[in-house]
């Protein structure tokens, strides 16, 4: 085992972290979820079928939040005037195929598959895709530096991404 | 009150289709909710409206290079929009003349020729049949008369690089059809000294609602503040609001509404938000200020003080009948929508940007677009929710048969952006075309 891979976080640790993150979203504990992000972090959802390395300064995304807009997205979803999610939808996220791709300094690169079902007002939406994270694993609690969710769908059948994926 | 509202019983003044009731003396304008729910109405719309109006196909920048093509659903047809090897732009029906298979199956690309995978018939990108079979396979003269060529849309015309098709060979010219909308297309097209381009792909999504609900919503200044209060909260929080009038968001929306003819209408109002083309806002930081001010100065220099400031400072929401929206707001979006069923539509939306603009402005344009617009924006999902709630509400139409679109009627020609005259323009044209078109549908509320 090389020195580099010896420093990688174990997959089980990463799984625990991602499962806990998913549980916070499913439970609508969005303030706690946002606290997982480091200042300066970004949260992005390119359009369905876009390449993993698509650039939000050149291509149209669904979501390309900087830290401030992500905070405001969370604030907004806490209000009953966020009509698309009030009453809240019921969701369940399944995280699988977790891979630790590597590390740059203290930042681990992680990939996983994501399946999210959302039920609301008599309709079930399915979001499926994969996600790429960069996670700062130094310090007491891990902090997400970036989260990008690629929807592996040809079109956005649910019509909107009103939840956080 | 009986099921038939006394106002309607006493002063029933249906317009020609029977779905719209306009009573100017009572300042009343109502639309039967059946118009949103019935398959027979949609069939009449397909034949009387979508087969006869100019329909937006795409922007020339999407097929910038010779050989570029893309596929798109328009007016219930599957289309190929492409630029041939000589640079001419075409709109072909995406079906092989041989047995009908979908010819082009890639969403976009560049090609020297198109070939059907089923039996191999091949075509030049100008639509001409290009296979050559040995003698004896087809009779002499088989290729004559173009029967083996791709079928083009009966009409394709463009205005300021916006391409439209029409399935009615005898339709008026696109420019005549656009009427007053041309002035507002010009305002957007003139943002760029070298024109405009579609930026980085599209947002395609579905809404479980009748297509006309999105036509209404896209130019509806009345819903802005109540539906999108959380968006305005966001703008206030991040320093994105910049307006006069003491911070009254509703007042800021009060600009002017204009009937552009042929069912097209626009609202134009001072922008409460930043506009990357020329209107800086503190949320973007001081470091971007000079860059944006330069854009503003360029517009004023090119177009004069009055028009330049109008382009820089004001926002515009425009509907071009029946299904094109160009909203020049916190970014520029081009949006079109196709009915799939009375209660479902497919939406495609694009960001339009200044061709060759500074990459920092481009990045800001896209960032700003997403703060409001699209399936993940802080506002559009609530519009989708509103439209789907309307559609669900129409299940009650036997007892609650009418929509009210009367706001601002006492103001007459002085209708404001948060009135509903722009929707009345749409509905009067819809009513005329449903009544006069070849397919008849029984009007009335229930």
- In the predicted model, is pLDDT for residue A136 greater than 50? yes
Contact with chain A for residue B61, Cβ under 8 A: no
Count of A-B CB contacts under 8 Å: 118
The verdict on residue B436 lying in a domain is no
Confidence (pLDDT) at B413: 80
Confidence (pLDDT) at B236: 84
The verdict on residue B22 lying in a domain is no
- In the predicted model, is pLDDT for residue B242 greater than 90? no
- Contact flag B382-A84 (C-beta cutoff 8 Å): yes
B229: closest CA of chain A, how far (Å): 7
- Contact flag B376-A57 (C-beta cutoff 8 Å): no
d(CA B425, CA B321): 9
Residues B241 and B385 in one domain: yes
d(CA B217, CA B423): 9
Chain A hits for B362, CB-CB cut-off 8 Å, are 57-58
The verdict on residue B107 lying in a domain is yes
How many other CB atoms are found less than 10 A from the CB of residue B147? 11
Percent of chain B with pLDDT over 70: 94
Residues B96 and B211 in one domain: no
Say what the pTM is: 0.94
Backbone φ and ψ of A46, nearest 5°: -65, 170
Per-residue model confidence as pLDDT tens digits over A27-59: 999 999 999 999 999 999 999 989 999 999 999
Residues B152 and B272 in one domain: no
In DSSP terms, which residues pair with A37 in a beta bridge?
Answer: A144
Chain B hits for A82, CB-CB cut-off 8 Å, are 230, 382
Per-residue model confidence as pLDDT tens digits over B39-68: 999 999 999 999 999 999 999 999 999 999
End position of a domain, from candidates B129, B149, B166: B166
Nearest to B375 among A64, A123, A156 (CB): A156
For the packed helices B359-372 and B289-313, what is the interaxial angle rounded to 10 degrees? 60
Q: What is the DSSP letter of B153?
A: P
B77: its two tokens:
């047809």
B14 pLDDT tier (thresholds 50, 70, 90)? low
- In the predicted model, is pLDDT for residue B309 greater than 70? yes
Nearest to A58 among B204, B208, B362 (CB): B362
The verdict on residue B171 lying in a domain is no
d(CA A23, CA A94): 10
d(CA A26, CA B19): 45
In DSSP terms, which residues pair with B95 in a beta bridge?
Answer: none
Q: What is the mean pLDDT of residues A69-87?
A: 96
- Contact flag A83-B380 (C-beta cutoff 8 Å): no
- Contact present, B425 and B264 (Cβ < 8 Å): yes
Please give the residue that has the higher pLDDT: either B89 or B250.
B89
B293: its two tokens:
């001010």
Q: What DSSP string describes B41-96?
A: HHHHHIIIIITTS-EEEEEGGGG-STTEEEEEEETTEEEEEEE-TTS-EEEEESS-
User: How far is residue B60 CA from its own chain's centroid?
Assistant: 16
Residues B150 and B197 in one domain: no
- Contact present, B329 and B318 (Cβ < 8 Å): no
Instruction: Report CA-CA distances (Å) from B401 to B35, B39, B390, B395, B434.
Output: 10, 17, 12, 10, 19
Residues B65 and B115 in one domain: yes
Q: Strand B314-320 vs strand B264-270: parallel, antiparallel, or unpaired?
A: antiparallel
Q: What is the mean pLDDT of residues A15-27?
A: 98
Q: Is B125 helix (H, G, I), strand (E, B) or coil?
A: coil
Contact with chain B for residue A121, Cβ under 8 A: yes
How many other CB atoms are found less than 10 A from the CB of residue A56? 21
Q: Is B244 helix (H, G, I), strand (E, B) or coil?
A: coil
Q: Which residues contact B6 (CB under 8 A, 6 or more apart)?
A: none
- Contact present, B269 and B253 (Cβ < 8 Å): yes
Q: Which residues contact B76 (CB under 8 A, 6 or more apart)?
A: B46, B50, B338, B339
Q: Sheet holding A107-120: strands in order across?
A: A61-65, A37-46, A143-151, A123-136, A107-120, A90-104
This complex has an ipTM of: 0.93
Confidence (pLDDT) at B104: 98
Nearest to A63 among B359, B362, B370 (CB): B370
Contact with chain B for residue A50, Cβ under 8 A: yes
A3 pLDDT tier (thresholds 50, 70, 90)? very low
B225: closest CA of chain A, how far (Å): 11
User: Which of B59, B61, B200 to mutate to probe the A interface, most A CBs <10 Å?
Assistant: B200
How many other CB atoms are found less than 10 A from the CB of residue B310? 15
- In the predicted model, is pLDDT for residue B376 greater than 80? yes
- In the predicted model, is pLDDT for residue B444 greater than 90? no
The verdict on residue B285 lying in a domain is yes
First to last CA, chain B: 17
d(CA B214, CA B333): 14
Residues B160 and B207 in one domain: no
Residues B293 and B330 in one domain: yes
- Contact flag B375-A159 (C-beta cutoff 8 Å): yes
d(CA B380, CA B217): 10
Chain B hits for A149, CB-CB cut-off 8 Å, are none
- In the predicted model, is pLDDT for residue B2 greater than 70? no
Confidence (pLDDT) at B245: 45
Chain B hits for A64, CB-CB cut-off 8 Å, are 366-367, 370
- Contact flag B202-A161 (C-beta cutoff 8 Å): no
Percent of chain B with pLDDT over 90: 79
| Residue whose tokens read 């009135």 | B419
End position of a domain, from candidates B151, B166, B181: B166
The CATH number that applies at residue B198 is 3.90.380.10
Residues B125 and B234 in one domain: no
Q: What is the mean pLDDT of residues B304-326?
A: 95
Confidence (pLDDT) at B143: 82
The verdict on residue B50 lying in a domain is no
The CATH number that applies at residue B83 is 2.102.10.10
* Minimal-distance CA residue of chain B relative to A45: B376
Residues B235 and B326 in one domain: yes
Residues B278 and B371 in one domain: yes
The verdict on residue B80 lying in a domain is yes
Residues B201 and B153 in one domain: no
The verdict on residue B441 lying in a domain is no
Chain B hits for A73, CB-CB cut-off 8 Å, are 378
d(CA B95, CA B140): 24
Confidence (pLDDT) at A101: 96
In DSSP terms, which residues pair with B17 in a beta bridge?
Answer: none
- In the predicted model, is pLDDT for residue B1 greater than 60? no
Considering only B8-12, B90-94, B119-123, which range has the smallest mean pLDDT? Answer: B8-12
Q: Which residues contact A27 (CB under 8 A, 6 or more apart)?
A: none
Q: What is the DSSP letter of B405?
A: -
- The number of domains in chain B is 2
Confidence (pLDDT) at B412: 84
Contact with chain B for residue A45, Cβ under 8 A: yes
Could you give all domains of chain A from N- to C-terminal order, each with its CATH number? Answer: 3-151 (3.10.450.50)
Percent of chain A with pLDDT over 90: 87
Contact with chain A for residue B227, Cβ under 8 A: yes
d(CA B380, CA B228): 9
B247 pLDDT tier (thresholds 50, 70, 90)? low
Contact with chain B for residue A57, Cβ under 8 A: yes
User: How far is residue B205 CA from its own chain's centroid?
Assistant: 14
- Domain span at B143: 55-166
| Residue whose tokens read 């789907």 | B388
- Contact flag B199-A121 (C-beta cutoff 8 Å): no
Confidence (pLDDT) at B65: 98
Considering only B101-115, B129-143, B147-161, B417-431, which range has the smallest mean pLDDT? Answer: B129-143
Residues B115 and B152 in one domain: yes
């Amino acid at each position: 085992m090389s020195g580099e891979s010896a420093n990688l976080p174990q997959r089980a640790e990463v799984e625990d972290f991602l499962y806990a993150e998913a549980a916070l979203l499913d439970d609508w504990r969005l303030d706690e979820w946002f606290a997982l992000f480091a200042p300066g972090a970004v949260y992005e959802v390119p359009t369905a079928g876009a390449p993993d390395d698509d650039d939000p300064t050149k291509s149209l995304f669904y979501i390309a939040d900087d830290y401030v807009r992500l905070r405001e997205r969370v604030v907004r979803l806490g209000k009953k005037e966020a009509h698309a999610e009030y009453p809240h939808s019921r969701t369940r996220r399944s995280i699988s195929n977790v891979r630790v791709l590597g590390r740059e300094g203290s930042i681990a690169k992680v990939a996983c598959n994501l399946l999210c079902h959302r039920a609301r007002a008599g309709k079930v939406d399915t979001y499926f895709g994969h996600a790429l994270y960069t996670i700062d694993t130094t310090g007491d609690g891990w902090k997400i530096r970036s989260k990008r969710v690629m929807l592996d769908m040809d079109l956005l059948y649910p019509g909107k991404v009103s939840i956080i994926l | 009150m009986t099921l038939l509202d006394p106002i309607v019983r006493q002063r029933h003044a249906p317009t020609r289709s029977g779905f719209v009731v306009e009573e100017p003396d009572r300042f009343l304008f109502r639309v039967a909710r059946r118009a949103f729910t019935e398959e027979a109405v949609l069939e009449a719309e397909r034949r009387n409206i979508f087969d006869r109006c100019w329909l937006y196909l795409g922007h020339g920048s999407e097929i910038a290079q010779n050989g570029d093509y893309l596929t798109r659903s328009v007016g219930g047809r599957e289309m190929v929009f492409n630029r041939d090897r000589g640079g001419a732009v075409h709109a072909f029906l995406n079906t092989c003349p041989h047995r009908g298979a979908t010819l082009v199956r890639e969403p976009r690309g560049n090609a020297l020729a198109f070939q059907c995978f089923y039996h191999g018939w091949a075509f030049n990108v100008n639509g001409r049949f290009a296979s050559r079979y040995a003698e004896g396979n087809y009779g002499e003269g088989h290729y004559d008369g173009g029967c083996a060529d791709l079928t083009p849309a009966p009409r394709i015309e463009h205005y300021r690089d916006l391409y439209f098709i029409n399935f009615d060979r005898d339709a008026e010219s696109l420019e005549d059809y656009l009427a007053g909308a041309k002035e507002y297309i010009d305002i957007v097209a003139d943002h760029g000294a070298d024109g405009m381009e579609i930026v980085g792909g599209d947002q395609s999504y579905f809404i479980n609602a009748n297509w006309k609900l999105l036509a209404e919503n896209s130019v509806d200044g009345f819903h802005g503040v109540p539906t999108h209060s959380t968006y305005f909260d966001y703008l206030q929080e991040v320093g994105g609001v910049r307006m006069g009038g003491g911070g009254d968001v509703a007042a800021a929306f009060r600009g002017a509404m204009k009937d552009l003819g042929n069912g097209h209408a626009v609202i134009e109002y001072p922008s409460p938000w930043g506009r990357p083309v020329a209107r800086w806002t503190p949320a973007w930081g001081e470091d971007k200020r000079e860059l944006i001010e330069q854009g503003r100065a360029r517009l004023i220099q090119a177009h004069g003080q009055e028009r330049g400031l109008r382009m820089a400072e004001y926002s515009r929401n425009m509907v071009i009948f029946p299904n094109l929206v160009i909203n020049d707001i916190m970014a520029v979006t081009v949006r079109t929508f196709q009915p799939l069923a009375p209660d479902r539509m497919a939406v495609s939306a694009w960001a339009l940007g200044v061709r060759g603009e500074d990459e920092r402005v481009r990045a800001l344009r896209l960032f700003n677009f997403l703060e409001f617009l699209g399936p993940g924006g802080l506002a559009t999902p609530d519009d989708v929710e509103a439209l789907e709630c309307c559609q669900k509400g129409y299940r009650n139409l036997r007892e609650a048969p009418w929509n009210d679109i009367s706001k601002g009627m006492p103001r007459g020609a002085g209708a404001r952006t948060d009135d509903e005259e722009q929707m009345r323009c749409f509905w009067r044209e819809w009513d005329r075309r449903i009544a006069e078109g070849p397919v008849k549908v029984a009007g009335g509320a229930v």
